Amino acid sequence: MSLWKRTTTLAALNQMSAGCLVGQLGILFTRLEADHLEATMPVDSRTTQPFGLLHGGASVALAETLGSVAGYLCTEGQQQVVGLEVNANHLRAVRHGSVRGVCRALHSGRSHQVWQIDIYDEAGQHCCAARLTTAIRNG
């Protein structure tokens, strides 16, 4: 059984992201399964800090993007999702390539949600563990 209440495609999610921060950072949704959502982000001049490492804020932007979109997919009608709190533990430096975020629900209730977003480098090593709490607003 699918977690999602809304029907969408990867193409539609990527189209929705064009022209905003998500698109500017090169975030691409790559996988939409019944219980999780995945996206990639390049590690390049858009997402690194002055010392050549993936910027922690870019990792948080990837995490919040995944959690917010997953939250939206768990709503229906005119409901909206807003972020309440995000935290991240940066576990490993990344210097090049891309990272992949995997978002899974820890809690998806009627009024709030909690999302776990794990970010991995190209070698599959865990580089960031993030958690996003969202609230559901009735439009």
Q: Where are the domains of the chain?
A: 10-137
Q: How far apart are CA 115 and CA 135, in angstroms?
A: 11
- The answer for residues whose C-beta is within 8 angstroms of residue 109's C-beta and 6 or more apart is none
For this structure, is 64 an active site residue?
Answer: yes
Residue among 64, 76, 85, 122 flagged as catalytic:
64
1.10.287.3510, 3.40.630.40, 3.40.50.720, 3.10.129.10: which CATH number matches 10-137?
A: 3.10.129.10
Work out the number of other CB atoms within 10 angstroms of the CB of residue 132: 27
The answer to whether the CB of 63 falls within 8 A of the CB of 83 is: no
- Over residues 109-129, the pLDDT tens digits come to 999 999 999 999 999 999 999
- Over residues 6-43, the pLDDT tens digits come to 999 999 999 999 999 999 999 999 999 999 999 999 99
